[in-house]
Structures are given as structure tokens and as C-alpha cells.
A and B are shown apart, each in its own frame.
Chain A
Amino acid sequence: MQNKSGHFDAILLCFRCRHFYNLTRVFFLACDAVPFVLSLCLRKIYSRLRARLKLSFNMSAAGEEEENAADLKIGDEFLKAKCLMNCEVSVILEHKYEQLQQMSEDPMNQVSQVFEKSLQYVKRFSRYKNPDAVRQVRELLSSYQLAEFELCVLGNLCPETVEEAIAMVPSIKSRGRVHDDEAIEKLLNDMSLIKKFE
């Protein structure tokens, strides 16, 4: 019995030892694994952070790269969108204002602040007052191959010399466009003629 129990004990001890051995093995494995897993996690976090940083950098860089009206780099939707010159806006807004005037005595109360400020601005900055002249200028500028955006900047600022026109709209000379100095000169002359005879 004594012997048997001793034997039993020995087996138990053996079992325990094995168990302990297993446990330690697991423990060491875990010890090994934890830093590994940790490093993985850290690496992941780091790369994610870096990606985000890079993204934000890229975004600011891309923003700088992408939108630059001087090189005609504005959003696609705006290149295709119809731009209006100040004089055209002036014709539209004044017409609208007159309509409001007929409906109520105090039209300034009816309109939004944005409308009011826009009206004041275009009244001051429209070069052509006569609606017929406005139409002629639009027709004239459309006959040259200009982007909507360039067309409106020229119509708004009415440059007097070729250099001034190029300084205002650098994109008309770049990218192998067909405009030579004489063509621009003729365009500016025609514009000032319309102004003279309106």
C-alpha cells in the first residue's frame, strides 16, 4: 500500500512536473510571443499613423498642386461650369431687383445679404453697362478658343496690353495654345471698341 501510494505519488509528481514543464513551456512561449505581438501591433499603429500623416501631407500638397487658376488647374466641374462675367451678373441681378421692386416697396428687405453685396460689387465692377454690349463681348470672346474661366477673367479685368492680358491669365500663352500675340492684340482691340461704342 505504502509502496503503491509512493508510486502513485511519484506518478503524480511526474505528471505535475510534466504539467509544470508544459506550463513553463507555454509561459516561455507566451513571453516570446508577447513582444512579438506587441511589436506587430506597434508596427501596425506606426504604419497607420505614417499613412495618415502622409495622406494629410499629400492632401495639402495635392491641394496646392491641384487648384491653381493661373495654370487653369481648377476642379473639373468648374472648368466645364458656365462662368459669368461681372457685367452679365450685373444685368441679371439688376433685372431681378427691378422685379422685386415692382412687387414690394422695400426690396432691400426682401433680398439676402449675399445678393445685396453681390449687386453692389457688380455695379461697381462691370465694365459694360449696356446689355447689348455685354452680349457682344460674350460673342467676341467665345469666338476665340478660351476656357470659360479665362474668358470671364478677360471680360472682368479688360486688360489694355498683351503683356497685361498674359499677366492676368497666364494660361492663354502656355500649354501650346494657338494664341499668338497678334491674336490677343486683336481681341483686346475689339473689346475696347465695344466699350467705346456702347
Chain B
Amino acid sequence: MYLKVELNWNVVIPAENLDIKGLMLQKAILVRLLDDFAAKKATKDLGYLVAVTTLNKIGEGKVREHSGDVLFPVSFTCLSFKVFRGEVIEGVVHKILKHGVFMRCGPIENLYLSNQKMSDYQYQFADNPCFLSLKTGSRIEKDVTVRCIVIGVKYMEAQKEFQAVVGLEGDYLGPI
């Protein structure tokens, strides 16, 4: 689920980027904010940080005593992406293993669907391996869209990545 979030950050502008012309300063602040935003990548509470949409306010700058850098409080709106436990999402399969498949959903690379969570489907060993449901004939293979429910979400602080475990146990879930 994509969320619209309002954030207040502090942006540090090095002394050499300070300019007499006001517009250049604003540009420097914006560029710096976008860089910081892209570098931050994700947070535990908000999920992945996707894009800054609007810059609402740049506050009064404060001079840092030792370095001479100036710190500006900035308030802006941005988009973030987070999955919630119990949410129904659609993912694209990108890897098939014997004991489950990995899917991609937006910025999340690793959605894991274990074969224990799709009891109707059997692993088929072939040139391009897939999971096949003998009852309905539907198959889960590479690049197929699968609708599934989120069972658990984990955030890894070091890599700044989210991982999630998903399942197919429920009505109207499965490959589309």
C-alpha cells in the first residue's frame, strides 16, 4: 500500500553552497533534500521512501558553530510503500525454488511464498519449473502475477530492506 506522509527533516547545507541569491539557496536545499531522501531508502515505520511530492516549508536556518554549515528545518510530503499483515497484495514471481517462490511487489524484492502455504500446488520439475494445481489447472511460473495475503513482515535494519512471508490460504487468492 502506498502512503502519503508528511515529514519534517533537517537539511544541512555546507558553507560553500550558501549564496547571496535566494533562489540558488533554495535549489541547494532541495537538491540536498532529494539526495538525503534517496540515501535514506527506507525506515521501519514508514516503509520504503519512494518520492518527494511537495516541499511545504523551509524554516529559518541555524548556523552550526564549528563547521559553519547551516541547518534548515524542512517540511515536505512524500510517498512511501509499506505492506501490512493481513493485506491482500499482488506480486510478480521472479524466482522458483523447490520449496517455494519469490515474488516482487513494488520496491519489495523478497516476498516469499512457501509451498507449505499453497497446499493445492505441486512443484513440477521441468525446463522452466513451476507450481501446478491439479484441481484447477492453474500454474505459478516466472513472471506470473499472484494475488496473496501477507502473513508476516520483517525489516532488516542493516540492508534497509523489507521481507515478507505471504500465503494463498483464503478465497480468491492465487495466480491471475
Chain A interface residues (CB < 8 Å from chain B): 67-71, 73-74, 77-78, 81-86, 88-89, 92-93, 96, 112-115, 117-118, 121-122, 124-125, 149, 152-153, 156-157, 159, 163-164, 167-169
The count of A-to-B residue pairs whose CB atoms sit within 8 angstroms is 107
Q: Is B150 an interface residue (CB 8 A)?
A: yes
Q: B85: nearest residue on chain A (CB-CB)?
A: A67
Q: Is B33 an interface residue (CB 8 A)?
A: no
Q: Most chain-B CB neighbours within 10 Å: which of A114, A124, A163, A169? A: A114
Q: Contact: B84 with A114, CB < 8 Å?
A: no
Give Cα A79 to B3, complex, Å: 10
9 cross-chain pairs, A with B, having the tightest CB-CB distances, nearest first: A70-B86, A69-B86, A112-B38, A82-B4, A167-B171, A69-B84, A69-B87, A68-B86, A121-B106
Of the stretches B12-20, B46-54, B126-134, the one at the interface is: B46-54
Q: Contact: B88 with A71, CB < 8 Å?
A: no
Q: B153: nearest residue on chain A (CB-CB)?
A: A67
Q: Which residues of B contact A157 (CB under 8 A)?
A: 88, 90, 147
Q: Jot down 6 A-B pairs with beta carbons below 8 A, ordered by A.
A: A114-B49, A117-B104, A118-B50, A153-B87, A164-B171, A168-B172
A84 touching B107 in the complex, CB below 8 Å, given contacts A93-B50, A118-B50, A153-B87: no
Q: Which of B59-101 contact A (CB under 8 A)?
A: 79, 81-82, 84-88, 90, 92
What band does the interface of chain B fall in when counting residues whose beta carbon is under 8 Å from A? 35 or more
From residue B107, how far is it (CB to closest CB) to chain A in Å? 5
From residue A167, how far is it (CB to closest CB) to chain B in Å? 4
Q: A166: nearest residue on chain B (CB-CB)?
A: B171
Give Cα A110 to B106, complex, Å: 19
Q: Contact: B84 with A67, CB < 8 Å?
A: yes
A114 touching B107 in the complex, CB below 8 Å, given contacts A71-B86, A81-B4, A92-B79: yes
Q: Contact: B107 with A117, CB < 8 Å?
A: yes
A74 touching B51 in the complex, CB below 8 Å, given contacts A117-B106, A149-B1: no
Q: Is B156 an interface residue (CB 8 A)?
A: no
From residue B169, how far is it (CB to closest CB) to chain A in Å? 12
From residue B82, how far is it (CB to closest CB) to chain A in Å? 8
Q: Which residues of B contact A112 (CB under 8 A)?
A: 38, 41
Q: Which residues of A contact B86 (CB under 8 A)?
A: 67-71, 73
Q: Which residues of B contact A125 (CB under 8 A)?
A: 90
Q: Contact: A96 with B88, CB < 8 Å?
A: no
Q: Contact: B172 with A164, CB < 8 Å?
A: yes
Q: Which residues of A contact B173 (CB under 8 A)?
A: 167
Q: Is B5 an interface residue (CB 8 A)?
A: yes
Give Cα A169 to B82, complex, Å: 17
Q: Is B105 an interface residue (CB 8 A)?
A: yes
A81 touching B5 in the complex, CB below 8 Å, given contacts A69-B85, A92-B53, A168-B88: yes
Give Cα A84 to B51, complex, Å: 13
Q: Could you say which of A113, A121, A159 contacts B105, with CB atoms under 8 Å apart?
A: A121
Q: A92-B79, A118-B81 are in contact. List 19 more A-B contacts (CB 8 A).
A: A67-B85, A67-B86, A69-B86, A70-B86, A86-B2, A89-B79, A92-B53, A113-B107, A114-B41, A115-B51, A118-B2, A118-B48, A118-B51, A118-B107, A121-B106, A153-B1, A156-B1, A167-B170, A168-B172
